[in-house]
Each structure stands twice: as structure tokens, then as C-alpha cells.
Amino acid sequence: MIPPAIREAVENWLGKVHPGHRKITSVSPVSGGSINRAFSIRTTSAVYFIKFNDAARYPGMFEAESKGLEIIRNTACIKVPEVFLCTQAGKFSFLLMEDEAGGGNQPDFWEDFGRRLACLHRVNAGYFGLDHDNYIGSLIQQNTPCDQWAGFLAEQRLQPMVTMARRSGLLNGQDCNSFDKLFLKLKDLIPAEPPSLLHGDLWNGNFIWSKDGHVCLIDPAVYHGHREIDIAMTRLFGGFDSRFYAAYNESFPLAYGWEERISLNQLYPLLVHVNLFGGGYVSGVRQVLRQYL
């Protein structure tokens, strides 16, 4: 259940913004996350979503998530949950948000999703990266700005994950040599595009059907990057309808050969999964390396 310190902090906030409705009447666990504990909490006036973790173990995680949600919200392209509280109570950090989970989807859900993601990807900050680091899963994601995608992908995305996996013995020296060779080829393998604002972790567990039946993005790992990264991530575990891709391409056509580059653009999330979940993903990494070397 929710620790007493968090419950007290939430009820204090409720007392300030909803006088007379500060009491939490029910708490229900929400499944799906591997890092945080999550609950739906009901008061006499509304329903909220809350998640919490060990503040010392994941410093700044929820602050980064809150910033990411705000960045996406400010584009007015696609719905994200509103954040009400992002703070610490006792030894816990927690994030209190609106509960956007809805029921069924609208008939045009996938087409609308594709068009809205295309809108997000048209947001261009003029550089690759972000003005702060954040998290992908429980791993720090480096975002030092760069004016060139191939360099950013190698130095800020792939190399940190390769180094981490090598230190833990999940990748070997030959793997590292292969990545060094791949880094030299990246500029020729990936067509140049202006930076796009990315969700950054767009698998099928990071969107929900909102109360209005349209898409709502959750758990972002935002940065400005090559938009094929987001598209490739949607293909890693499936769950996205063909109508999504058709509508996206109609709104913002992808460069020729994008489907052939999917495996290359999945290297970063594959390496993240190697470091989060172990050696079961190493074979997928090596398969991509063989494909491009």
C-alpha cells in the first residue's frame, strides 16, 4: 500500500486545492511497471494515479519524467497526464498525476495517434539532445546537445550502454570492436534529418487509451533525435496497428528505406534491455551488428 508519509503529503495537498475533499477513500494497485510501485487513488472528488520509488536509488527520476511530460504537453500535439505533485516524502519520491486511463478507443484511434506523433516529431529545437539528462527505464540517459545525429547516437546513446554491458560481462571485447566499426559507418547508414522531439521510449506499454478514447502518452524519455528511433521502437515489441504507420507517413513521410533501417534504430533500446534485464537480449544486438558489418 501507500506509505504513510506519501499519504499524508497527498492529503495535505488535497486539503489545499480541494478543501473538504482531502480524504483518500480507496487505493488500488496498478500493474505494469518494473521500477516503481503504482496505485490508483480515489478521493471524494476525483481519481488520481500515483507512483513512488526509493528516492536515494533513483535520484531525480520523477523530476525528469515531470519535465518530459511538460515538454510534450507544451507542444499541444498529443495528450499526456497532468502532473499535480512531484516531490519527496520520507525516503520516497513520488509523482501524483491525473488518472487518464479510459475505456475503449475511438474508431480512428490509430490514425489519430499517427498524426499526433507526426506533429510531435515536427517540433525542432535545432540540436540533438536535451538541456538536461533524464532516465530510460532505471538507467541514466545522457543528453549532451550535439549538432550531428551520428555523433550523438554513437557518443550519447550506444557507447554508454556498450560500456555498461562490457563492465558487467554481458558484452565481450569482440562486441565492443564491432561497435567501434559501426560508429564509423553511422553517418552513411542513416539519412540526415532535422532533430525531432521524441517520446524516447515508445513501446506499446507507454501509451494508454485516454478517457476521451484517444491516445495518451506516458513514461517519456524525451530528447531531440532522429524520428526513426521512435518509429523503430514501436516495432520492437509490436502492438501498433498498420493504420498508425499509414497515417504517420501521410502526415510526415519517412525517408526512403526506413523499414530496412528498423533493426539499426533498435540497437539503443536493445542495449538498454541488455543492461536492465540481462543476456537474453545480447543475441539480438549481435544479429544487428552482423547485419551492418
CATH number at residue 92: 3.30.200.20
- The band of 282, judged by pLDDT with boundaries at 50, 70 and 90, is very high
In terms of domains, do 81 and 15 share one? yes
Span 70-87, average pLDDT: 97
Q: Could you read off the pLDDT of 178-227 as tens digits, one per residue?
A: 999 999 999 999 999 999 999 999 999 999 998 888 999 999 999 999 99
Q: What mean pLDDT comes out for the span 10-35?
A: 82
* 101 located within any domain: no
Indicate whether 207 belongs to any domain: yes
Based on the fold, state whether residues 13 and 119 are members of the same structural domain.
no
Q: State pLDDT tens for residues 142-165.
A: 999 999 999 999 999 999 999 999
Residue 58 sits in the same domain as residue 122: no
Q: Does residue 117 lie within any of the structural domains?
A: yes
Q: CA-CA distance, 114 to 224, in Å (whole number)?
A: 18
Split into its structural domains, the chain has a count of 2
Work out the average pLDDT over 135-139: 96
If asked whether residues 162 and 126 sit together in one domain, one would say yes
- Percent of the chain whose pLDDT exceeds 90: 83
Please tell me the predicted confidence (pLDDT) of residue 32: 62
Is 99 annotated in the active site? no
Domain end (from 73, 96, 119): 96
- Rounded to whole angstroms, how far apart are CA atoms 26 and 107? 33
Residue 92 lies in a domain: yes
| Structure confidence at residue 23 (pLDDT) | 82
* pLDDT value for 101: 78
Q: What is the structure's pLDDT at 103? A: 67
* pTM, full prediction: 0.94
Do 142 and 270 belong to one domain?
yes
Interval 223-253: pLDDT, tens: 999 999 999 999 999 999 999 999 999 999 9
Q: Decide if 102 is inside a domain.
A: no
201, 212, 230, 241: the catalytic one is 201
Count other C-beta atoms under 10 Å from residue 84's C-beta.
17
In a domain, 230, yes or no: yes
Do 72 and 210 lie in a common domain?
Answer: no
3-state DSSP call for residue 6? helix
Residues 264, 193, single domain; the answer is yes
Same domain as 188, residue 61: no
Residues 175 and 31 in one domain: no
In whole angstroms, how large is the CA radius of gyration of the chain?
A: 20
For 237-282, give the DSSP string. S----HHHHHHHHHHSPPPTTTTTTHHHHTHHHHHHHHHHH-GGGH
Query: Is 145 inside a domain boundary?
Result: yes
Do 40 and 139 fall within a single domain? Answer: no
Q: Is the pLDDT of residue 22 over 90?
A: no
Q: H or E stretch including 113?
A: helix 109-121
Q: For position 33, what pLDDT does the model report?
A: 65
CATH number for the domain spanning 136: value is 3.90.1200.10
Least confident piece of the model among 32-36, 75-79, 288-292: 32-36
The reply to whether 201 and 179 lie within a common domain is yes
Domain containing residue 46: 4-96
Domain shared by 206 and 70, yes or no: no
